[in-house]
Every structure is written in structure tokens, then in C-alpha cells.
Structure 1
Amino acid sequence: MAKRTATSPIEKKGRNILLEMALIIALSLLFYLSIPIKSYAIVYIPKGALKTALSHLHALESPTPPINTLDLWILRLMSALHLWHTPERGYVAIPISPNNTTTKGDFLHALSLSKVVYKDITLIPGETLYFFLRHLAKVFHLKVEDLEQVYNAKALWADGAIVPDTYRFTLGISTQNLMGYLLKHSQEHYQKLSEQLLGNYDPKKWQQTLIIASIIQKEAANAAEMPLIAGVIYNRLKRHMPLQMDGALNYGAYAHSKVTHERIATDNSPYNTYKHKGLPKEPVGSVGLDAIKAALFPAKTPFLYFVKTKGGTHKFSVNYKEHVRAIPKF
């Protein structure tokens, strides 16, 4: 039977020193990971080697915390122990408090999760491409100029080619993929809708439908009024009367601007239906289903005029004298 070798006092002292050092290191690490830091709620990790990718965070302006060699070592250690994952390319959500603070440990752990971050964006009926592209650029960190370039290259119409809806995309999506999806989805939607409502799809005829629908969308106070306003539009077109509708002047950057007498007098664009007879050449904004149905199936009415009431709806008139009499009342 082998004899058990006794541990010498020097060995015991050495072990104790190692244990104390390990404890000091562990406590120091816990303290380091508990340090409060400031951070953005969402951080982007670019593609590349871990060290190179994390150096991107170090270069970011405050409040994103700098990533140092110790942080890199912690991430690699936790990954080797299969406790955390190696950070991957993409946007990472960081759990922060209302004052943008978190701990170093929570920050590094969030980096290791590398969850895909989704953002929703809504295009409401009546909104113009001008404002929607700027909203897209802000939410998904893209350039308006790039979005415009892709839209102009792929869209059939200068405006109204995107269906109003709420869309969800991942942060980090490319301009090509985002705009490509919006336009492809919208074109398929319009083709299917045209086939359902008309039995066929003609892009040129559908463009005219969208132009009329976009004016209806701007003018109507509610869905119930839309067929009546559509009837007025068709009646005036049939009589070769100028449409004289303010909504057509709410195009592009003027979507939310009040139409004044000065604006009517100075705007020489094709959208000024006070100066030009017929329809504008392009839709004046996005359109919803009710406006499209109204454009396709207008109410059969003798009305040629309408004026807004104090309640926000419209008073419709058959002739100009009746229209003039209606104005002072409301």
C-alpha cells in the first residue's frame, strides 16, 4: 500500500496564495462587470473578426462604452466555457435604464446574444413619398438619396407605388432589399386587387385610378364621402372643367402644408388643378382601399362642387350659385 505524502507547509502556503489570488481576481471581475456605464439602446456590430468588429464600438461617440482588451478576453472566455455566444454581425438590443445606463456585464452579455432587432414602420393613406422616405431613412439608418435612387429605378409611378400598411424590417437591412420588397409587394398587391375588382390589370389604367384615388384620399373627410367626391371629379372631367381641388396641391414636400391663395397663384406644377385642366400626371400620395374603390366605382351624382363645413365634412352642391350660398353657412 502506497504511503500518502504529507503536504509541506510551503505547499499549503502556496495553495492558499493561489486561492486568495483566484478569489481576488473573481471579486475584481465581478466588481468590473457591475460597473455602471452608459450605452445606446441599440448597438451595431459590423462584419469582421471579433477584435476588429469590437474596435468599431470603441470608436463610437458617447454614450457607447469603449471596448478594451479585458472585455475582449471576457467575451472569449465566456464563449469558450459555452456560457455566452461569440458576438455576431448585426444590431444588438442593450437592456438599459431610462437614463441610458446599464452594467458592463449586462452590456457584454447583450453583445454575446446578438439578437436581430426589428423595427416597424407605417405608411398611412394620404402620406407622400417625400415624407415616407425620410421616415424610413431615420428608422433604419439609411440615406434618403439612396432610397430615392432605388425607388425611381424600380417604381412605376413617381408617388403612390407603395401600399399603405405597417411593415417590419430588421435593422441593418440594405436599401436595395428594403425598397425592393416594398415595391415588389405593392405591385403584386395592386395587380391582385385590380384583378379582383376589375377582372384584369392594366398598369396605365391603374395609374389613372391611383391618381384619382390619391386626390379623393386628400379631399374626403371620411370613407362615406369618398364616392361622392369621386363623382364630383368625374363630373368635372366630363364637362372639361378644372378640378380646382386643394388636395392635388398637397403633393411631395407640401403634403402637410395649407393651400393658400398665394400658393395657388404661384404653383405652376402639373398638380395645380386650378391652373391646369384634367388630372395630374402622377398620384399625389399613397392611397387606401376605400379611395381606390371610390375611384373605380364613383357615386352617380349631379354634384359639381363641395365645401368644407365647420364639422369637418363637406357640403355638396349642384351648381355654382348653390355652392356660393353654402360657403357663408359653414
Structure 2
Amino acid sequence: MTKKNITRLNIFLDIFLLTIFTIIFYLNIPIVSQKDIFIPRGSIKSIITYLENHAYDINKIDRFFLILIGKPQSGFIDIKHTFLSKADFLYALANSKTSLKEVTLIPGETMYFFNKILAQNFNLDPKDLEKAYKKYAPYDDGVIFADTYKLPVGASADFLMEFLVNKSLKRHQELSHKVLREYNENQWFRFISIASIIQKEAANTSEMPLISAVIYNRIKKGMPLQMDGSLNYGKYSHTKVSAERIRTDNTIFNTYKNKGVPKTPVGSVSIEAIKATINPADVKYLYFVKNKNGSHTFSETYEEHKNNITKK
């Protein structure tokens, strides 16, 4: 080997070693991060840009490392630590799984209490959740389907509500097309408003078509619905309706004072309540009262209804 070739080899080795040391130094740069990080859908390049724009010490160079290590999973991921090296941070991005928590909205529950459940489980302010809900939902209640949802830990109130409302509105449209062969938002949510009262009033699913029939029969005769369940809206979801409430409540939900169905749902509904709304029982009942068994006794006339009350 000539002296000239030896010199070139030495230069190459020096550059190689310098590159290795530079990479080692670079990958050991400390990074401070949140444990839960949101990763948007898209290419590695767009993920890098998103993180860079959200104050993470990451840049275009890191794109090449992620190409070698692996693409991060979209959604909120739990990287376990808040202080780590650049190498550990990139490895965590590529290998951490989405951190999810289950939360359930039960049929009949109102957004007032569902927001409290979300706030408790995801360390959020109920007022922020309420604000976000109103931003995305077309109605004050009844938009989000009663169901169990797996939601990302660390998500903001805005993110959660946008996801829940959009997912639910899509289900409303799909169900409407399946049942009615079309989707008219105003007409559909009138059904949901009726279903929300049925949900509050029915002792069980078998009663739902009967209560649905009572509602339609009363509307047809121009009678007020006079149903306590409509007054179990918002923060009154679990409050027993008193004569005082009936006298003093001047909202659209007071079906003792207002004829017809409230323009917005009282709370969340089940599929069974929706089906009962669209397919009421073929009966002439106008009244019902809770009996000793906890279910309801139905009647066609007021005289019969009074007799049923005395039998309670």
C-alpha cells in the first residue's frame, strides 16, 4: 500500500470515527417529554413536522432514524418516561403502544354526568368538556350514543369530544339509513328526543313500545305528555321530580307546561328505545302508572288510570 493510499485510509477512518462519535453524541442529547404523546396519522415526515411544531426537540434528521427503527403508531402513545435520551425517545416513539382507557355512557344518562365521568377518568375539567361538546354537537344532549368507548389517555377535552361526537353522528346516520332508508337530521333527532323520554320512563325494554304509543296517542289528541322523565335533564338526571319542580321549571323539558316533545333530547338513548320510537305498539293507551312490581300499569281512560293509582 502506497503512502498516498495509507493517508487516504487514515482520513476515511478519521471521518468514519468522527461520524460515529457525532451520532453517539447526537443520540445521547437529553429530551424532556410528556409521558402521553399524540401521534397524528400520516407519514414519518408529517409526524416529525407535527412533533417539531409542538415544541419537541426533534427534526428532519430524526426521520432517517425512525425509518430504520419503525413508524410510530398513531393516536396517544405512552412512552413511560418524561426524561430520556434522543435514542430512547425515538425508540419509544416507534415501539410504544396507544394508551387507552374504557369509559361507559349508560342509556338514559345526561351529558352533565357523562362529562363528570370523563373528567374523573381523564383528569380534565368538566367545563372544558362541556364547551368542547357544544362546539361539535348539534344538540345539547342525546348526540353521543350510549356505549362503552376506548379513549386515549392524555387526550384533550376538545379531542375527546370531537371523536365522540363525530363517531356518534356517523352511527346516527348509518342507523337512520338502515331503518328509514334516509337521514334527515331534524327528523331523526326528533325521534331521539322521543326515545330519550322513553328511556327515562320505561322500567324495562318490553315497556318501551307501550310508552312510545302513549306519547304518540297523547300528541295526536293534543294532550301534554306530562312525563316526569322529561324533567330528568342535565344535572337533574337522578333527581326525583316533585310538584315544586313541575310548578317552577320553565324550560322546554317541562312536558306538564308544554305540549309536544322537547326540541332537544333529554339524555342518551339505547337502540331499543330508538326502535320503540319508530315502531310504537298498536294500542290506545293514554296513561300509565308505576305499580308495586316496579313496572307500569297502562290504561286507555282517565277513570281507569285513577283506579290504577289507588291500587299502587
Q: TM-score w.r.t. structure 1 length?
A: 0.67
Q: What are the Cα deviations for residues 197-230 of structure 1, in whole angstroms up to 9, with x where unaligned? A: 0110100001100000000000001110000000
| Partner in structure 2 of residue 143 of structure 1 | 125
Select the residue among 179, 190, 207 that pairs with 1:208: 190
Cα contact 1:91–1:172 (8 A) shared by 2: no
Aligned mates of 2:78, 2:158 — CA distance in 1 = 17
Deviation at 1:49, TM superposition (A): 4.8
| Partner in structure 1 of residue 142 of structure 2 | 160
| Partner in structure 2 of residue 128 of structure 1 | 110
Q: What are the Cα deviations for residues 75-121 of structure 1, in whole angstroms up to 9, with x where unaligned? A: xxxxxxxxxxxxx984749xxxxxxxxxxxxxxxxxx9976532110
**RMSD after superposition:** 2.2
Aligned mates of 2:139, 2:221 — CA distance in 1 = 27
Is 1:329 the counterpart of 2:311? The answer is yes
Q: Secondary structure at the match of 1:210?
A: helix
Cα contact 1:126–1:286 (8 A) shared by 2: yes
Select the residue among 227, 250, 267 that pairs with 1:285: 267
Task: Letter of the 2:260 partner, please give it.
Answer: G
Aligned mates of 2:230, 2:34 — CA distance in 1 = 49
Aligned mates of 1:294, 1:51 — CA distance in 2 = 54
Aligned mates of 1:52, 1:134 — CA distance in 2 = 28
1:114 to 1:158, Cα distance in 2 relative to 1, 3 A: same
Count of residue correspondences = 232
Select the residue among 212, 217, 232 that pairs with 2:199: 217
Task: Letter of the 1:244 partner, please give it.
Answer: Q
Cα contact 1:303–1:316 (8 A) shared by 2: yes
Unaligned runs of 5+ residues in structure 1 are 1-47, 55-87, 94-111
1:50 to 1:297, Cα distance in 2 relative to 1, 3 A: same
Q: Secondary structure at the match of 2:289?
A: strand
Which structure would you say has the larger Rg?
1
Is 1:310 the counterpart of 2:261? The answer is no
Q: Secondary structure at the match of 2:102?
A: strand
Task: Letter of the 2:138 partner, please give it.
Answer: L
Q: TM-score w.r.t. structure 2 length?
A: 0.70
Aligned mates of 1:89, 1:303 — CA distance in 2 = 54
1:172 to 1:318, Cα distance in 2 relative to 1, 3 A: same
Cα contact 1:92–1:115 (8 A) shared by 2: no
Percentage identity across aligned positions? 50
1:201 to 1:52, Cα distance in 2 relative to 1, 3 A: closer
| Partner in structure 2 of residue 194 of structure 1 | 176
Task: Letter of the 1:318 partner, please give it.
Answer: E
Deviation at 1:250, TM superposition (A): 0.2
Task: Letter of the 1:121 partner, please give it.
Answer: V
Select the residue among 137, 141, 154 that pairs with 1:172: 154
Is 1:276 the counterpart of 2:296? The answer is no
Deviation at 1:52, TM superposition (A): 7.6
Q: What are the Cα deviations for residues 9-65 of structure 1, in whole angstroms up to 9, with x where unaligned? A: xxxxxxxxxxxxxxxxxxxxxxxxxxxxxxxxxxxxxxx9546879xxxxxxxxxxx
| Partner in structure 2 of residue 259 of structure 1 | 241
Deviation at 1:142, TM superposition (A): 1.4
Aligned mates of 2:168, 2:184 — CA distance in 1 = 15
Cα contact 2:77–2:99 (8 A) shared by 1: no
Cα contact 1:230–1:298 (8 A) shared by 2: yes
1:328 to 1:91, Cα distance in 2 relative to 1, 3 A: farther
